[in-house]
Structure 1
Amino acid sequence: MIAISYIVGLAIEFAFAIYRGHEVNEGYLVTGLLIPMVMPVGLPLWMLALSVAFSVIIGKEAFGGTGMNILNPALLARAFAFFAYPTYMSGNMVWVSEATSIDGISGETILGKLAASKPIVYSISEMFNGSIPGSISETSTLWILVGALFLIITGVGSWRIMLGGVIGASFIGIVFNSWGANDLMRFPWHQHLIVGGFAFGIVFMATDPVSAAQTLKGKWVYGILVGSLSIVIRIFNPAYPEGVMLAILLMNVFAPTIDHLVVQANVNKRKNRWSLAKEGVKRK
């Protein structure tokens, strides 16, 4: 899957670079690795190739290339695959290795079971360590936290967005726990943080330096809204019990607006201070 992602994506990147007469940017080296990580292991390779092509052409090159995209390219590829081929993305397709000894098996995810009111047989430690069904990268919260620490230390990922996402998801989870109208609402709020794609999304996707909010206060708002919307979509859309992808893509669209409002608020504060200072001088 990684090979197909790189072959298709880089071929398109090279084609556009030649057409536009500029150098090839190395940004796709990261995107090309992230795309297979958010896809089910049994997804046919031709579907992956189409998803990559859509993501690179529509999500990046249509806006001017790397650094100009308003949506996270890796999540856009997953969104394309999900809406174009839902049966391959929703967990209905079960894959088992054909080898003599089974190397891996994928089945219905925890969130899928909750949406269908089925019992959960996994312990918290299994959820945290990753011994549960899910996409390639999303199951082990333990290793996602290791990755988060690396991103924070290197300054690549914003800890404000990560922490804001956890705060938003925790708050909404606690609110719905107190309501408890269905299994997803009754699912403990802290377990919402370690199942599905939430942890991976808030660490590696929401912190994309291009499509995320850029201002310090904006990052807090952006992260909190991503976390909150992720849980809201999980609970109120039984047909799609995983909400982090849509939450991040939606907030990608509103990230420039958030930054604009933050900057405008700062400008207004400075104007008010200047006005007060001028009035003080006049009175003297």
Structure 2
Amino acid sequence: MGMRKFMDNLKPTFSEGGKLGFLASTFDAFETFLFVPNTTTARGAHIRDVNDMKRTMIVVVAALMPALLFGFYNTGYQHYLSQGLQPEFWASLWFGFLKVLPIIVVSYVVGLAIEFGFAQARGHEVNEGFLVTGMLIPMVMPVDIPLWMVAVATAFAVVIGKEVFGGTGMNVFNPALVARAFVFFAYTPSISGAEVWIAGLSSGEGVVDGFSGATALEQLGTTGTMSYSALDAFLGFIPGSIGETSTLAILLGAALLLFTGVASWRTMVSVFVGGLATGYLFQALGVTAYPAWYHLIVGGFAFGAVFMATDPVTSAQTDTGKYIVGFMTGALAVLTRVVNPAYPEGMMMAILFMNALAPLVDYFVVEANISRRKKRGCKLAK
């Protein structure tokens, strides 16, 4: 009650005609973050629900927490392992927290500054989508990426990947993947190779003999085998992007998204089915010798399936379309991994490609439904 009264007292100052009326969008962003707005949508496409966008985004952020916390720990774990030291739990967790926190801070500061700037310039509400995007961007990056690259990639993702389309809800491509794609094509050495995945390796710190920072996907793409056990890959004790290594932690987040109804199970399940089916096809043809299900537990496959492919803005909107887009996303990811060994991680490009095709898939699904109804109407008329 005290906070509500405090905000009510401040509101006239930030409303139209007040001393700080030009900051109305900024004040509204903080007010609606603290309290559910008492407004009702009267026009445009919308969902009638007691929940709002900010609360929905917060659920997604909560679902990301298991993968993020494990990412903290694994960052420290891999660092100490590379130094020939026994990784201790709290020391590894603290090391990883200190290493990853600046990346998260840079992502949010740069992204929110741009979001608030566009909102003020356009005179509209601050879009809530960056609550999730600001967390996703650090989680899909290698731990040793320079902070200035994170800032540039975040700015590119927000401006080119979202704001030019009209802001949250209008973007065609997933902004977090736009940021990763920007870094991959603009600064390839900083997001590939064996050094970037372990804190300290790219800066020249010494490592014990025999230690390799190569990811499981890089090993599968070059030798057809990986030096890590399937259990370690599933649990996440392998090099990789900050939030993508632990399939178990990602599945915990998936359970929350599915329980709350925030993410579509149709898309999520279809991605795994598409990837698994394509993996078994290549295995049956003798193209790959390793188990097909390895694709599901290494690289960014699980993370992409749970948190990226299910993005309600950039994915398909129809139920049938979700099955199609999800299946094709998983299939394209595995196809890219197997056919192009020089580019072992195919999930990013698969999702971005299907982001572009999703509206077309929805169009044909709707047209097919209209055609069936017309035929049914003709039969009834006869």
Task: Flag whether TM exceeds 0.5 (same fold).
Answer: yes
State whether structure 2 residue 120 is matched by structure 1 residue 9. no
Cα deviation, 1:261-283, whole Å, max 9, x if unaligned, reads 1111110000000011111xxxx
Q: Which 5+ residue runs of structure 1 have no aligned equivalent?
A: 280-284
State whether structure 2 residue 184 is matched by structure 1 residue 82. yes
TM-score (normalised: structure 1): 0.92
Letter in 2 for 1:170: L
Aligned to 1:15, the other structure's residue is in SS state helix
Runs of 4+ in 1 over 2 A off after TM superposition: 91-98
Within a 5 Å distance, the mapping from 1:187-198 to structure 2 comes to 187-198=290-301
For 2:345 and 2:333, locate their aligned partners in 1 and report how far apart those are by CA, in whole Å: 7
Cα deviation, 1:95-126, whole Å, max 9, x if unaligned, reads 4449x9x9xx9821111112222752211110
Letter in 2 for 1:269: R
Q: Is the 8 A contact 1:96 1:106 kept in 2?
A: no
Letter in 2 for 1:168: G
Aligned to 1:193, the other structure's residue is in SS state helix
Cα deviation, 1:30-56, whole Å, max 9, x if unaligned, reads 100010000000000001111001100
Q: Is the 8 A contact 2:258 2:265 kept in 1?
A: yes
Q: What displacement does 1:187 show?
A: 2.1
Residue 316 of structure 2 is matched in structure 1 by: 213
Same amino acid, percent of matched pairs: 56
Letter in 1 for 2:153: S
For 1:6 and 1:209, locate their aligned partners in 2 and report how far apart those are by CA, in whole Å: 21
Q: What displacement does 1:180 show?
A: 2.3
For 1:79 and 1:254, locate their aligned partners in 2 and report how far apart those are by CA, in whole Å: 18
For 2:225 and 2:319, locate their aligned partners in 1 and report how far apart those are by CA, in whole Å: 42
Q: Which 5+ residue runs of structure 2 have no aligned equivalent?
A: 1-102
Q: What displacement does 1:86 show?
A: 0.8
Within a 5 Å distance, the mapping from 1:129-278 to structure 2 comes to 129-181=235-287, 185-278=288-381
State which structure, 1 or 2, has the greater radius of gyration over its C-alpha atoms.
2
Letter in 2 for 1:126: D
Q: Cα distance 1:92–1:128, how it changes in 2: closer, same or farther (>3 A)?
A: closer
Letter in 2 for 1:222: V
Residue 36 of structure 2 is matched in structure 1 by: none
Q: What displacement does 1:75 show?
A: 0.5
Q: Cα distance 1:225–1:118, how it changes in 2: closer, same or farther (>3 A)?
A: closer
Number of aligned pairs? 272
For 1:112 and 1:191, locate their aligned partners in 2 and report how far apart those are by CA, in whole Å: 13
What is the aligned-residue RMSD (CA, Å)?
A: 1.7
Letter in 2 for 1:241: P
Residue 282 of structure 1 is matched in structure 2 by: none
Letter in 1 for 2:274: G
State whether structure 2 residue 146 is matched by structure 1 residue 48. no
Q: Is the 8 A contact 1:106 1:133 kept in 2?
A: no
Choose 136-145 or 18-27, whichever is displaced more. 18-27
State whether structure 2 residue 164 is matched by structure 1 residue 62. yes
